[in-house]
A and B are shown apart, each in its own frame.
Chain A
């Protein structure tokens, strides 16, 4: 009787041991913007490989801190780290997917079709254009009846990757913005009211006559909010879409460290306000099994993740950029040696 009990207990232990050995699982934390897509990807990945990935959307800043502290296997961020920062903290950064930022507005009597130029957007957010019937806006929107009402500028109040992309765009098209404000996940806004999250910005814009704001493409689409077409570098007015962001990425020069926003891209059909979202990995991996799984996950995402990305209105990376990223993975080391 006693022996049998002992035997069964050890059996349970062995079983537990084996099951933990077999089940490599990864934990990650960070950006909220790609969270819906990541949960979908990781769910599909688990179905296929039986490997569980636990992702917590706690914000890019917290994600960066967690990967630096070594409490997670990968971090995720919307705002890129500079090459120097990556170097200093022993991290590499690779993009997973891209997203577009749309300009939304609330003008009575005008649904779709408002046209804006890069200068006008910058001037509105600098507080230089204060009213919708400014000659600059009227002259490119002759087919619309633009009302004479004040512009209420709305922006994000919480730090966010969407803000980083948008302010990077403003910095690249307006030297005044670059000098006075700069780009980042949260900045010192010259004017405007701040809404919390995409929902907060969209809420303010929809409730305030004459408001203008910026939200992610997916959010605007899913909630049927009308957004503007923007004049790109080429001179065309383009709507944000998966195709127009793809066009921008294809023609964009991507640096080795991936520190880049896809803003003000060249090309006839390119939409000018977009950016990547990234994973952060430690260069020196401490667990070979986990390191291999990480690489496998990223390759899986590049191979099989495009369809679900487009369904959720994220923009898959072009092959060219995927290749660059996979090349970058060779920098991962285990005990000083390259993995695989």
Chain B
């Protein structure tokens, strides 16, 4: 009897914990909707497709911020995802046993550095390098592409994307490593026994098996990149424009909010910032939902 009671209490506690998360998400969603109502009423759909941000005239719109958020996150993923997988494969398959622990430890340490430090590093170290070295180099050799045209200021989409890439590497690589390590030893041994080289074994058997988990790790990294605030605010250039050139300054949703929330006095100004938060909520929600239900499920079915 007594054992039964314990079971029940334990079950109840876990149930309450998970319900709490649901409730808080629902509350956040509710608050965001209520807070953004004035701005939704005032601007309607135009909020999503125009690029004006004028606190004096109280006219706001979100397109430059949405664009910047997506562009910087894509850059971060393009740079950070392959590197993370490389790290994960190296640690789990290739590196000598005595290096495994220290390496994993250092990478996890990277994830614990506060984002303002990344921002400061980006501003004071990376930005000058981009302005004086990387920018002119890209401009000279890849300048025919629209992405690398114009005068590199040092801050902008590219710098923000690189900083974000470094910030998401710990997340993606540690999850990928865990997943790769879960691939059964027998499969690797079987692959080798069939005469595969080590590279064939890693690319076909290990990665093939771990694909779903690795993509989920990438999505977690993307989630971090979409919402990252402080570091991006330091290096994005904070200008509400839309430009195809990665050298130009831009804006992201979270940096707009971080910049303007404390000093926003007008009702519409405040409400527009909350609507931005609502949009970010949707973007993150749909990216995660999309990968969960389409990509990962499809891979797992096979």
Contacts and interface: CB of A to CB of B under 8 A. Distances in A.
Contact of A181 (B56, B255, B259, B262): B56
Contact of A193 (B56, B239, B259, B265): B239
Interface residues of A, number: 34
A208 B239 contact: no
B43 interface: no
A104 to B, nearest CB: 16
A193 B262 CA distance: 20
Nearest to B270: A61
Given A193-B237, A207-B154, A186 B263 contact: yes
Given A193-B153, A193-B239, A207-B154, A184 B259 contact: no
Given A193-B237, A208-B131, A188 B249 contact: no
Contacts of A150: 151
B124 A196 contact: no
Contact of A196 (B56, B151, B156, B233): B233
A272 interface: no
Interface stretch (B47-55, B175-183, B195-203): B47-55
A50 to B, nearest CB: 32
- Most chain A CB within a 10 A radius of its CB, from B54, B55, B153: B153
A188 B127 contact: no
Given A184-B56, A203-B124, A207-B128, A189 B239 contact: yes
B300 interface: no
B260 interface: yes
A230 interface: no
Interface in A203-224: 203-204, 207-209
Nearest to A158: B259
A61 B264 contact: yes
A26 to B, nearest CB: 22
Contact of B249 (A65, A183, A193, A203): A193
A272 B263 CA distance: 25
Contacts of B73: none
A157 interface: yes
A127 interface: no
A185 B154 contact: no
Contacts of A60: 262-263, 265
B155 interface: yes
Give the secondary structure class of B's interface.
loop
Nearest to B125: A207
Contacts of B237: 193-194
A95 interface: no
A193 B263 contact: no
A157 B56 contact: no
A83 interface: no
B241 to A, nearest CB: 9
- Most chain B CB within a 10 A radius of its CB, from A79, A160, A200, A209: A200
A196 B238 CA distance: 8
Nearest to A195: B238
A195 B54 CA distance: 17
A182 B266 CA distance: 15
Interface string B204-239: 000000000000000000000000000001100111
B57 interface: yes
B123 interface: yes
Given A59-B262, A61-B263, A207-B123, A186 B55 contact: yes
B256 to A, nearest CB: 9
A187 B262 contact: no
A223 to B, nearest CB: 13
A183 B55 CA distance: 10
B55 A159 contact: yes
Contacts of B263: 59-62, 158-160, 185-186
Nearest to B55: A186
- Most chain A CB within a 10 A radius of its CB, from B54, B57, B233, B265: B265
Contact of B54 (A58, A159, A188, A192): A188
Interface string B21-61: 00000000000000000000000000000001111110000
A158 B262 contact: yes
A58 B261 CA distance: 10
Interface string A143-157: 000000010100001
A64 interface: yes
Interface in B93-149: 123-124, 127-128, 131
Nearest to A208: B154
Contacts of B52: 188
The 9 closest A-B pairs by CB, nearest first: A159-B263, A59-B262, A194-B238, A157-B238, A188-B54, A61-B263, A193-B237, A182-B56, A193-B249
Interface of B: 52-57, 123-124, 127-128, 131, 151, 153-156, 233-234, 237-239, 249, 255, 258-260, 262-265
25 contacts: A59-B262, A60-B265, A61-B263, A61-B265, A150-B151, A160-B263, A181-B56, A182-B57, A184-B55, A185-B263, A186-B260, A188-B56, A193-B153, A193-B156, A194-B239, A194-B249, A196-B238, A196-B259, A203-B234, A204-B123, A204-B154, A204-B155, A207-B154, A208-B131, A208-B153
Given A61-B262, A184-B55, 20 more contacts: A58-B262, A61-B263, A61-B264, A61-B265, A64-B265, A65-B265, A157-B255, A158-B260, A159-B263, A184-B56, A188-B55, A189-B239, A193-B155, A194-B259, A196-B238, A196-B259, A207-B123, A207-B127, A207-B128, A208-B154
